[in-house]
Chains A and B, each alone.
Chain A
Amino acid sequence: MVRFLILRILQGLLVLWLITVGVFGLFFAVPSNVARTLAGRQATPHTIALINHRLGLDKPIYQQYWDFIKKASHGDLGYDYYHQLSVTHIIGQALPITASLALGAAVLWLALGVFNGVVSAVHPRSVADRGLTVFALFFYSMPSFFLGLMLLFFLYFKLTLAGFQWFPAGGYSPLAEGVGEWARHMILPWLTLALVLAATYTRLTRSSMLDVLGEDYIKTARSKGLRERRVIYRHALRSALTPVVTQFGIDLGQLIGGVVITETIFSLPGMGKTAIDAINQQDLPVIIGIVLFASTCVVVANILVDLLYAFLDPRVRLG
């Protein structure tokens, strides 16, 4: 088990390293005009060269790469020249917002998705099942940005017009300033993110449960006289949840990037929106920093999922 863990971590590090090389390589195929912008319009090439040198941008690529790696391993992800802040600081500010969004939505979509999936599977082809299947298919096909805009229209605009100022149009209220306000700002974003994913998980749970419920050992459990509820929750659900867990790990890791759309629509200054803004400003250090941070999250999430999988299914550990 320990050996498995070590191997997995090494693999993850390899992947991360490859990503840093890839990202770095890509970015330095394009000349950065940071120095030029900082220097101002009137700058002479001489001034620009000076700034380049000061910032260390004229060193050879592998030198810059090495410096970068050294600093990164100490938590210093570079400097954002436009805003005069360290990238780490920027990420630090954006992270709680993205985390609030991601984790809140995650709880919502897991609960909704799994519950619906189980209900569907346990009463196949019933009215409830058909209804839930249609619901799932509908939201599964819904582009999240369209959903977000619709939610804004109906639950913010129309509702506010009608006198119910329940939801704001966007923006973020930090947790420290009150849970109520925080939640009020997050509900629409949560729904935008969660409904689509809940649909995916409903489908996944449903098909997985149906597979498991058809297995012989379930028939055995029933014929032993166990109460149906116990059969479902203790026996069937446990096995059926494995693919769900795997998928959840993957989704959670990818979520850092996936929140981009939601953050844009609801003006939440999280990691995604920050990255988009950085593009428009050609702010390379921020982009690199966010990409690396997010990749790390994905790799870590994958490792955790593998671990969890190995824990649940001994066959995996034993090769």
Chain B
Amino acid sequence: MTTDQTQAVSTVSETLLHLDDVCKHFHVRGHAGGGRATVKAVDGVTLDVRRGETLGLVGETGCGKSTLARCMTRLYDLTAGKVTFQDRDISRASRRALRPLRREMQMIFQDPYGSLNPRRRVGSIIGDPFAIHGIGDRKERKDKVQQLMQRVGLNPEHYNRFPNEFSGGQRQRIGVARALALQPRLIVCDEPVSALDVSIQAQVLNLLTDLQQEFGLTYVFITHDLSVVRHVSDRIAVMYLGKVVEVARTDDIFEITRHPYTKALLSALPVPDPDAADSRERIVLTGDLPSPINPPSGCRFHPRCPKAQEICSREDPPLLPVLGDEGTHLTACHFPLEVGESLRPRAEASGPERGIPR
């Protein structure tokens, strides 16, 4: 889905969802390391989701993207910060107050085998949203469900089948149908294709983009797979250890990479041409992802960052445009990269990054 088509679908680019310094901390009752601990899964995220766009959210496992997704749809209560949906502040809303809103924002989950109740028929699962919100009688619901099934590419006659009779890709489509039922404005997709075979991934992704065009949907697309996110997103936000480190239009992220972490992520993308693969700069980050219980001081990336200097361990860099970027491109870094700048530290020679020595 290209940027042009996005512009064609949305009239005015208004903000559908606004996150303002959102924090989500979990208390862990562990004896390991002694006593209580706080997992700072999301620690101060400010983000916009614009109507009609697809915002990609990427990061390593454990960076907090799934938690953020659930904060967005208020499946979790916020520890701090504000969430505004369609200009309404829903940060402190009770479950009862949120209920009508649930028609407007939905989620698609990652695990095709876990996200459907194995003991319920598929028609009933897809029809759940109607039943919960008291829409239509049984006949009407059945018709709508079958229409939905048809729309996502399932045979409407399989209305009475159970999830275990469907393949992984088909199950995800059931999940899509369920999310689509009430015609929401926003759908948050939490790694919707990560558990599928690559060939099936393409089909489901295409379905999602078709639906977006047809129904004017807005997506937040969460994944750890960069090649996928490039294909579907208008904008991309990169997360690291509970914070957003860079957010920009898709092309800008790939061509004008500012944050060292983003650069490292991109360098890990497989490239089909072996020669090009060998010749490009491959960055291997040292160390593991630190624990979100005890994030590093200042900029969280500084222990692994080849460009880190003293200030990085003291001050957490703010998320703003750098190096003359336009307002849509925000970076949180004290020493953002110039275009084409190498990420290797000065003392680095060839070494293990180059793979098998010739």
Interface residues of A (CB under 8 A from B): 3-4, 317-319
Bound Cα distance A224, B67 (Å): 42
By the criterion of a CB under 8 Å from any partner CB, how many residues of chain B are at the interface?
4
Of A3, A4, A319, the contact of B29 (CB 8 Å cutoff): A319
Bound Cα distance A247, B161 (Å): 41
Contact with A along B1-42 (1 / 0, CB 8 A): 000000000000000000000000000011110000000000
Having A4-B31, A317-B31, A319-B29, one finds 6 other A-B pairs with CB under 8 Å, namely: A3-B31, A318-B30, A318-B31, A318-B32, A319-B30, A319-B31
Contacts of A318 in B (CB 8 A): 30-32
Contacts of B30 in A (CB 8 A): 318-319
Contacts of A319 in B (CB 8 A): 29-31
Interface residues of B (CB under 8 A from A): 29-32
Nearest A residue to B33, CB-CB: A318
Bound Cα distance A318, B32 (Å): 6
Contacts of A4 in B (CB 8 A): 31
Contacts of B29 in A (CB 8 A): 319
Nearest A residue to B29, CB-CB: A319
Q: Looking at the assembled complex, report how far the CB atom of B27 sits from the nearest CB atom of chain A, in whole angstroms.
A: 12
Q: Looking at the assembled complex, report how far the CB atom of A7 sits from the nearest CB atom of chain B, in whole angstroms.
A: 11
Contacts of B32 in A (CB 8 A): 318
Nearest B residue to A317, CB-CB: B31
Contacts of A3 in B (CB 8 A): 31
A-B contacts, 9 of them at CB < 8 A, read A3-B31, A4-B31, A317-B31, A318-B30, A318-B31, A318-B32, A319-B29, A319-B30, A319-B31
Q: Which among B29, B30, B31 has the greatest number of chain A C-beta atoms within 10 A?
A: B31
Bound Cα distance A317, B31 (Å): 7
Bound Cα distance A4, B31 (Å): 9
Bound Cα distance A4, B32 (Å): 13
Bound Cα distance A318, B30 (Å): 6
Q: Looking at the assembled complex, report how far the CB atom of B31 sits from the nearest CB atom of chain A, in whole angstroms.
A: 5
Bound Cα distance A219, B32 (Å): 31
Q: Looking at the assembled complex, report how far the CB atom of B330 sits from the nearest CB atom of chain A, in whole angstroms.
A: 40
Nearest A residue to B28, CB-CB: A319
Bound Cα distance A81, B180 (Å): 78
Contacts of B31 in A (CB 8 A): 3-4, 317-319
Nearest B residue to A3, CB-CB: B31
Bound Cα distance A3, B29 (Å): 13
Q: Looking at the assembled complex, report how far the CB atom of B34 sits from the nearest CB atom of chain A, in whole angstroms.
A: 10
Bound Cα distance A51, B149 (Å): 84
Bound Cα distance A19, B29 (Å): 30
Contacts of A317 in B (CB 8 A): 31
Q: Looking at the assembled complex, report how far the CB atom of A6 sits from the nearest CB atom of chain B, in whole angstroms.
A: 13
Q: Looking at the assembled complex, report how far the CB atom of A5 sits from the nearest CB atom of chain B, in whole angstroms.
A: 12
Bound Cα distance A319, B31 (Å): 6
Q: Looking at the assembled complex, report how far the CB atom of A318 sits from the nearest CB atom of chain B, in whole angstroms.
A: 5
Bound Cα distance A317, B34 (Å): 12
Nearest B residue to A4, CB-CB: B31
Bound Cα distance A3, B30 (Å): 12
Q: Looking at the assembled complex, report how far the CB atom of B83 sits from the nearest CB atom of chain A, in whole angstroms.
A: 32
Q: Looking at the assembled complex, report how far the CB atom of B291 sits from the nearest CB atom of chain A, in whole angstroms.
A: 15
Bound Cα distance A109, B31 (Å): 37
Q: Looking at the assembled complex, report how far the CB atom of A4 sits from the nearest CB atom of chain B, in whole angstroms.
A: 8
Bound Cα distance A4, B30 (Å): 12
Bound Cα distance A319, B32 (Å): 8
Bound Cα distance A75, B96 (Å): 57
Q: Looking at the assembled complex, report how far the CB atom of B97 sits from the nearest CB atom of chain A, in whole angstroms.
A: 35
Q: Looking at the assembled complex, report how far the CB atom of B14 sits from the nearest CB atom of chain A, in whole angstroms.
A: 47
Bound Cα distance A3, B36 (Å): 14
Q: Looking at the assembled complex, report how far the CB atom of A306 sits from the nearest CB atom of chain B, in whole angstroms.
A: 15
Bound Cα distance A90, B275 (Å): 91
Bound Cα distance A72, B30 (Å): 38
